[in-house]
């Protein structure tokens, strides 16, 4: 069980008042998700009343400061995060050894991950081939990695020594399966022909079969989930499936005002990316610890890392060359999606508003929008926002008892920010 | 003779048509198709029939049929959004539009039939003896709320696959078929709305608080996917012309695509009331044989009804054709296909129809249909006599009337 030391730590950390540029926006997103988390992961963003963030109302001085800070970080590719972060989060509970590389540390638990997933996909002939297609061992398996590290960190926190629980390992596997099933469907929705440097399933076998393959992977994931035998875990991860679809729906529409647009974007980002990570982390904590506050730490870490991960992804869509991400540049713009960098750029170039509303469909829109984004500080501001989410993730995970796995999760936030593909 | 094709739409009648789920589907559809006119005209075209009576009697037995879960679905922003977008598809050839109309028009879809059977079986099995958590006073018309939710989840899953079935392979689409953009858009809507229904089924399943049921129904989803995958494969005309499947394989695949979901939902309804393994096995058996009998019945329709002037329309993987091919042997079958080819290399289906009718393919399929109907009747006999059981018996008998 969690000793009083970490409760104290938590109390202390909640007293830390952040005074950053994104104060209001930040408060909005952090608070509204903790509201939602208390109701079993169901978000209620739209009903959140305190959203008064006005980009134009931000004090200029603060803004300049941040931009400088952020761009310098970007320029030097510094491995250090915002210095305030280290002083505020890791002070009391810093372990001496240099944190191990998360990938190395998680490897022993992920060795047979893809083999095990392929065993779950119990079906014959061609459909088997389609379902196995992306479980070729070449994926980064970021989600399973976070899940196993979190599980081990939580086990140590809960005084449980030894190996992962079988259910925790199953959740690592299920997280990758749900993720892949949604990718297969997304590729049909977006009409993509490339994924991870391979041709997509819809490109090779056609849309009809691709949709069925996605449905099959989902049903196999759902069966594996049920076999864990814990109905609370089933509920937590079923919520993810609903969030993924709702997130996809949210991409269909554009919001009229800036304020609504940003809120919509962050909510969509939570549902499409962070919910899976957050709820998988929560699920592994439910299996080892009965304290809801511990579940909340796991959820919050996953949520914040997940949002940061997606924000960086959205930045890379503008900054990375076509070869690195395995897909063409400005793919989001071409799909009509306005992500963080565009929304920030819109503050400096109001011309973008009309383009966002027509989803970059007029001739030349994509190139023009691209130019505006690169001329603005949209990329830097989005990166800065990602850093803030990582800081919050670190603040959360630091409430756990020290362990190599916990430190690896802290280190991971840094890698999320500095990755270039 | 029971003409399933024309009579089954009236599965949706009287009190059933006022349920939340029905309201959900029909408003969904009227949004899709741009008005409620067509929906209304459908219900006025009723006439007295055996099947109609069987079903409407059965509906009265289960009281109000569904919970309000689907109402939540209907009122969601997501579905109003889809409905709004899908209006744009009116006038195009995307199958999603037909799927949406088919909820109301097409006999094969049998909207709500599965839910009705799950409810009837729940009622026929009666209150739980094993569990202290399940209180008799929670039952409404002799059915537990969790069983009503399950009935609705079964319908959600079935509907999700009707939608996903209508995805178009874009590479097979030629310009003469219409603009590709419409098809891309229709696919997008079909993927999203099917996924939305499936996701709601998943969260609904979790709320049933029984991991065995979650596993069982999830495996049924996997079965349906496999069944549809094979169906996709077999319906490929080229494939049917060369190899084709035998009767045993046909039954296996028909079970996956048309029987597994109902069989497993029936079993799950027993599990939710903590009925013993034997009741679960019998419920599964009823669901399985009823679905197979029903599938045979609908496959037989083009071969038994007198369609004067109408062009023959059936699928080369329909049961009577599969029987016929097995009876006459591959060689004679291929000969027949050669003879039935027109100058434009198209198949003359009325020629094929006549050929199949002239041999034992049709009567073998009728026999198999009766076999499954009787097996379903047999399974239900172990349940205590009640009006719910009689309704299940009537439904099982009705599918054998061809």
**Other beta carbons less than 10 A from residue A221's beta carbon:** 27
Q: Which residue has the higher pLDDT, B298 or A25?
A: B298
The winner for highest mean pLDDT among A55-59, A213-217, B78-82, B318-322 is A213-217
Query: Is the pLDDT score of B95 beyond 80?
Result: no
Q: Which residue has the higher pLDDT, A362 or A65?
A: A362
Q: Are A297 and A396 in contact (CB under 8 A)?
A: yes
Which one of A191, A208, A241 has the shortest CB-CB distance to B199? A241
Q: Do A227 and B211 touch (CB under 8 A)?
A: yes
Query: Is the pLDDT score of B149 beyond 80?
Result: yes
pLDDT score, position B111: 52
pLDDT band at A91 (very low <50, low <70, confident <90, very high): very low
pLDDT score, position B99: 66
Q: Which residues pair with B341 in a beta bridge?
A: B347
pLDDT band at B283 (very low <50, low <70, confident <90, very high): very high
Q: How far is residue B122's CA from residue B62's CA, in Å, rounded to a whole number?
A: 9
Which one of A211, A225, A245 has the shortest CB-CB distance to B167? A211
The radius of gyration computed from the CA coordinates of chain A, to the nearest angstrom, equals 21
Which helix (H) or strand (E) segment holds residue B356: the answer is helix B349-358
Q: How far is residue A99's CA from residue A411's CA, in Å, rounded to a whole number?
A: 7
**How far is the alpha carbon of B211 from chain A, nearest alpha carbon, in Å?**
5
Query: Is the pLDDT score of B133 beyond 90?
Result: no
Mean pLDDT within A288-294: 94
Contacts of B93 by beta carbon, 8 Å cutoff, 6+ apart: B177, B178, B182, B183
Average pLDDT along chain B: 78
What percent of chain A shows pLDDT beyond 70?
74
Q: Give the least confident one: A40-49, A144-153, B137-146, B339-348.
A: A40-49
Q: What is the pLDDT of residues B34-55, one digit of tens each?
A: 333 332 222 223 333 566 677 7
pLDDT score, position A76: 39
Q: Which residue has the higher pLDDT, B59 or A73?
A: B59
pLDDT score, position B310: 66
Q: What is the pLDDT of residues A210-268, one digit of tens each?
A: 999 999 999 999 999 999 999 999 999 999 999 999 999 888 877 778 888 999 999 99
pLDDT score, position A4: 40
Q: Are B88 and B34 in contact (CB under 8 A)?
A: no
A254–B contact, CB cutoff 8 A: no
pLDDT score, position B2: 32
pLDDT band at B356 (very low <50, low <70, confident <90, very high): confident
Q: How far is residue A274's CA from residue A260's CA, in Å, rounded to a whole number?
A: 20
Selected residues 10-39 of chain A with any CB under 8 Å from a CB in chain B: none
> What sign does the dihedral B215-B216-B219-B225 (CA atoms) show?
negative
pLDDT score, position A39: 35
Query: Is the pLDDT score of B194 beyond 70?
Result: yes
Q: How far is residue A2's CA from residue A291's CA, in Å, rounded to a whole number?
A: 8
Q: Do A246 and B225 touch (CB under 8 A)?
A: no
B136: exposed, middle or buried (C-beta count within 10 Å: 0-12, 13-18, 19+)?
Answer: exposed
pLDDT band at B319 (very low <50, low <70, confident <90, very high): very high
Phi, psi of A291 (to 5 degrees): -85, 120
The winner for highest mean pLDDT among A158-172, B163-177, B280-294, B343-357 is B280-294
Domains in chain A, CATH or no CATH each: 22-31+54-418 (1.10.600.10)
Q: What is the pLDDT of residues B360-399, one digit of tens each?
A: 889 999 999 999 999 999 999 999 999 999 999 999 999 9
Q: Do B214 and A222 touch (CB under 8 A)?
A: yes
Dihedral of the alpha carbons of A336, A339, A341, A347, in degrees to the nearest 10: 80
What does the block give as tokens for A59?
């004090």
B230, closest residue in chain A (CA to CA): A127
pLDDT score, position B51: 67
A393–B contact, CB cutoff 8 A: no
**How far is the alpha carbon of A226 from chain B, nearest alpha carbon, in Å?**
5
Mean pLDDT within A172-199: 94
The helix/strand/coil state of B341 is strand
Q: Which residue has the higher pLDDT, B19 or B343?
A: B343
pLDDT score, position B60: 73
Phi, psi of A120 (to 5 degrees): -70, -25
**Other beta carbons less than 10 A from residue A115's beta carbon:** 10
CATH architecture of the domain formed by B4-279+385-400:
Orthogonal Bundle (1.10)
Q: Do A249 and B221 touch (CB under 8 A)?
A: no
Q: Are A60 and A76 in contact (CB under 8 A)?
A: no
What does the block give as tokens for B71?
């109402």
Which one of B169, B172, B218 has the shortest CB-CB distance to A219? B218
pLDDT score, position B386: 93
Average pLDDT along chain A: 79
pLDDT band at A1 (very low <50, low <70, confident <90, very high): very low
Query: Is the pLDDT score of B302 beyond 90?
Result: no
For B166-276, where are the alpha helices, taking DSSP H only? 180-206, 211-234, 237-242, 247-254, 260-272
pLDDT band at A340 (very low <50, low <70, confident <90, very high): very high
**How far is the alpha carbon of B81 from chain A, nearest alpha carbon, in Å?**
8
What does the block give as tokens for A347?
């503050």
Q: How far is residue B261's CA from residue B198's CA, in Å, rounded to a whole number?
A: 13
- In 3D, which of A348, A355, A405, A421 has the Cα closest to residue A380? A348
pLDDT score, position B306: 67
Length of chain A: 421
pLDDT score, position B207: 95
Distances (CA, A) of B269 to B129, B203, B290: 14, 17, 16
What does the block give as tokens for B226?
């496999």
Q: How far is residue B221's CA from residue B119's CA, in Å, rounded to a whole number?
A: 20
A239–B contact, CB cutoff 8 A: yes
Q: Are A369 and A355 in contact (CB under 8 A)?
A: yes
pLDDT score, position A280: 98
pLDDT band at A27 (very low <50, low <70, confident <90, very high): very low
Parallel/antiparallel/unpaired status of strands A194-195 and A198-199: antiparallel
Mean pLDDT within A379-393: 96
Q: Are B324 and B359 in contact (CB under 8 A)?
A: yes
pLDDT band at A70 (very low <50, low <70, confident <90, very high): very low
The helix/strand/coil state of B245 is coil
- Residue spans of the domains in chain B: they are 4-279+385-400
What does the block give as tokens for A54?
């006005």
Q: Are A233 and A221 in contact (CB under 8 A)?
A: no
Which helix (H) or strand (E) segment holds residue B72: the answer is helix B69-75
Q: Which residues pair with B347 in a beta bridge?
A: B341
Chain B residues whose C-beta is within 8 A of a chain A C-beta are: 77-78, 81, 85, 164, 167-172, 184, 187-188, 191-192, 194-196, 198-200, 202-203, 205-207, 209-212, 214-215, 218-219, 221-222, 225-226, 228-229, 232-233
Distances (CA, A) of B291 to B13, B108, B377: 21, 12, 12
Phi, psi of B167 (to 5 degrees): -75, 140
Q: How far is residue B169's CA from residue B347's CA, in Å, rounded to a whole number?
A: 23
Contacts of B369 by beta carbon, 8 Å cutoff, 6+ apart: B293, B296, B297, B300, B399, B400, B402
Q: Which residues of A touch B84 (CB under 8 A)?
A: none
> What sign does the dihedral A346-A352-A355-A360 (CA atoms) show?
negative
Q: Which residue has the higher pLDDT, A366 or A421?
A: A366
Length of chain B: 402
Q: Are A299 and A278 in contact (CB under 8 A)?
A: yes
Query: Is the pLDDT score of A30 beyond 60?
Result: no
Q: Are B223 and B260 in contact (CB under 8 A)?
A: yes
Q: Give the least confident one: A109-113, A385-389, B16-20, B39-43.
A: B39-43
Phi, psi of A339 (to 5 degrees): -100, -175
Q: Are A101 and A411 in contact (CB under 8 A)?
A: yes
Among A200, A223, A251, which would you mutate to test the B interface (most chain B Cβ atoms within 10 Å of its Cβ)? A223
A335–B contact, CB cutoff 8 A: no
What does the block give as tokens for A369?
């929008």
pLDDT band at B23 (very low <50, low <70, confident <90, very high): very low
Over chain A, what HEC string results? CCCHHHHHHHHHHHHCCCCCCCHHHHHHHHHHHHHHHHCCCCCCHHHCCCCCCCHHHCCHHHHHHHHHHHHHHHHHCCCCCCHHHHHHHCCCCCCCCCCCCHHHHHHHHHCCHHHHHHHHCCCCHHHHHHHHCCCCCCCCCHHHHHHHHHHHHHHHHCCCCCCCCHHHHHHHHHHHHHHHHHHHHHHHHHCCCEECCEECHHHHHCHHHHHHHHHHHHHHHHHHHHHHCCHHHHHHHHHHHHHHHHHHHHCCCCCCCHHHHHHHHHHHHHHHHHHHHHHHHHHHHHHHCCCHHHHHHHHHHHHHHHHHHHHHHHHHHHHCCHHHHCCCCCHHHHCCCCCHHHHHHHHHCCCHHHHHHCCCCCCCHHHHHHHHHHHCCHHHHHHHHHHHHHHHHHHHHCCCCCCHHHHHHHHHHHHHHHCCC
Q: Which residue has the higher pLDDT, B186 or B71?
A: B186
**How far is the alpha carbon of B44 from chain A, nearest alpha carbon, in Å?**
36
Q: Which residues of B touch A222 (CB under 8 A)?
A: 202, 205, 214, 218, 221
Query: Is the pLDDT score of A384 beyond 50?
Result: yes
Distances (CA, A) of B160 to B100, B149, B196: 11, 16, 8
Mean pLDDT within A26-42: 39
Q: Are A361 and A336 in contact (CB under 8 A)?
A: yes
Q: Do B222 and A220 touch (CB under 8 A)?
A: yes
Q: Give the least confident one: A29-43, A388-402, B193-207.
A: A29-43
Distances (CA, A) of A63 to A277, A318, B51: 31, 22, 73
Ramachandran class of A359: left when φ > 0, alpha when ψ lies in -120 to 50, beta otherwise: left
Which residue is it, tokens 């130019």? A371
């Amino acid at each position: 069980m969690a000793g009083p030391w970490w409760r104290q730590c938590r109390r202390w950390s909640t007293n830390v008042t952040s005074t950053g540029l994104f104060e209001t926006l930040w408060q909005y997103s952090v608070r509204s998700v903790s509201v939602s988390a208390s109701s079993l992961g169901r978000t209620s963003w739209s009903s959140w009343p305190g959203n008064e963030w006005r980009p134009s109302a931000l004090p200029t001085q603060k803004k300049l400061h941040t931009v400088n800070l952020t761009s310098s970080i970007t320029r030097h590719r510094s491995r250090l995060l915002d210095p305030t972060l280290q002083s505020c989060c890791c002070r009391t509970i810093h372990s001496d050894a240099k944190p191990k590389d998360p990938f190395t540390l998680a490897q022993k638990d992920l060795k047979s991950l893809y083999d095990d997933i392929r065993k779950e996909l119990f079906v014959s002939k061609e459909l088997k081939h389609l379902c196995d297609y992306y479980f070729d061992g070449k994926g980064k398996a970021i989600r399973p990695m976070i899940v196993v590290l979190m599980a081990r960190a939580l086990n140590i926190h809960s005084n449980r020594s030894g190996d992962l629980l079988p259910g925790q390992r199953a959740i690592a596997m299920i997280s990758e399966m749900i993720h892949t099933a949604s990718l297969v469907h997304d590729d049909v929705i977006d009409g993509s022909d490339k994924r991870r440097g391979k041709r997509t399933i819809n490109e090779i076998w056609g849309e009809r079969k691709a949709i069925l393959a996605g449905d099959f992977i989902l049903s196999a994931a759902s069966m594996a989930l049920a076999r864990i035998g814990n109905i609370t875990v089933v509920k937590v991860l079923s919520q993810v499936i609903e969030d993924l679809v709702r997130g996809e729906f949210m991409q269909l529409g554009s919001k009229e005002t800036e304020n609504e647009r940003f809120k919509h974007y962050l909510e969509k980002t939570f549902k499409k990316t962070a919910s899976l990570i957050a709820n998988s982390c929560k699920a592994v904590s439910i299996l080892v610890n009965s304290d809801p506050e511990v579940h909340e730490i796991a959820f919050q870490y996953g949520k914040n890392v997940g949002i940061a991960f997606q924000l960086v992804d959205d930045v890379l869509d503008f900054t990375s060359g076509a070869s690195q991400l395995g897909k063409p540049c400005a793919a989001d713009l071409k799909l009509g999606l306005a992500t963080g960098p565009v929304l920030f750029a819109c503050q400096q170039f109001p011309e973008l508003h009309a383009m966002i509303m027509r989803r970059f469909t007029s001739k030349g829109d994509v190139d023009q929008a691209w130019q505006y984004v690169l001329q603005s500080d949209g990329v830097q501001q989005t990166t800065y926002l990602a850093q803030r989410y990582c800081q919050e993730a670190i603040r959360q995970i630091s409430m756990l008892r020290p362990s190599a796995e916990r430190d690896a999760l802290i280190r991971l936030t840094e890698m999320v920010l500095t990755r270039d593909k | 003779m029971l003409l399933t094709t024309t009579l089954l739409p009236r599965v949706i009648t009287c009190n059933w048509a006022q349920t939340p789920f029905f309201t959900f589907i029909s408003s969904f559809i009227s949004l899709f198709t741009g008005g409620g006119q067509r929906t209304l005209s459908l219900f006025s075209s009723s006439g007295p029939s055996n099947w109609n009576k069987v079903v409407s009697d059965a509906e009265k037995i289960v009281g109000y049929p569904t919970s309000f879960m689907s109402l939540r679905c209907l009122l969601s922003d997501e579905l109003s959004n889809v409905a709004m977008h899908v209006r744009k598809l009116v006038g195009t050839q995307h199958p999603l539009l037909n799927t949406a109309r088919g909820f109301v028009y097409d006999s094969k879809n049998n909207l709500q039939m599965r839910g009705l059977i799950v409810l009837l079986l729940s009622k026929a099995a009666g209150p739980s003896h094993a569990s202290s958590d399940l209180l008799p006073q929670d039952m409404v018309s002799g059915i537990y709320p969790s069983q009503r939710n399950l009935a609705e989840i079964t319908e959600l899953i079935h509907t999700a696959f009707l939608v996903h079935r209508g995805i178009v392979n874009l590479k097979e689409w030629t310009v003469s078929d219409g603009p590709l953009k419409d098809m891309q858009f229709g696919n997008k809507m079909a993927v999203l709305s099917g996924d939305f229904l499936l996701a709601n089924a998943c969260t609904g399943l979790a709320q049933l608080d029984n991991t065995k049921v979650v596993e069982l129904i999830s495996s049924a989803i996997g079965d349906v996917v496999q069944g549809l995958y094979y169906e996709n494969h077999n319906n490929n005309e080229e494939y049917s012309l060369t190899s084709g499947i035998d009767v045993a394989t046909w039954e296996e695949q028909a079970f996956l695509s048309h029987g597994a979901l109902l069989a497993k939902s029936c079993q799950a309804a027993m599990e939710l009331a903590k009925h013993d393994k034997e009741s679960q096995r019998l419920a599964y058996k009823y669901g399985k044989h009823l679905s197979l009998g029903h599938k045979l019945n609908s496959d037989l329709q083009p071969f038994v009804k007198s369609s004067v002037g109408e062009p023959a329309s059936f699928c080369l993987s329909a049961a009577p054709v599969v029987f016929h091919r097995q009876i006459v042997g591959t060689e004679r079958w291929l000969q027949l296909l050669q003879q039935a080819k027109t100058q434009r290399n198209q198949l003359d289906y009325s020629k094929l129809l006549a050929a199949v009718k002239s041999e034992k393919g049709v009567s073998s399929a009728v026999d198999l249909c009766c076999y499954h109907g009787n097996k379903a009747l047999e399974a239900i006999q172990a349940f205590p006599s009640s009006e719910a059981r009689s309704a299940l018996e009537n439904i099982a008998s009705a599918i054998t009337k061809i």
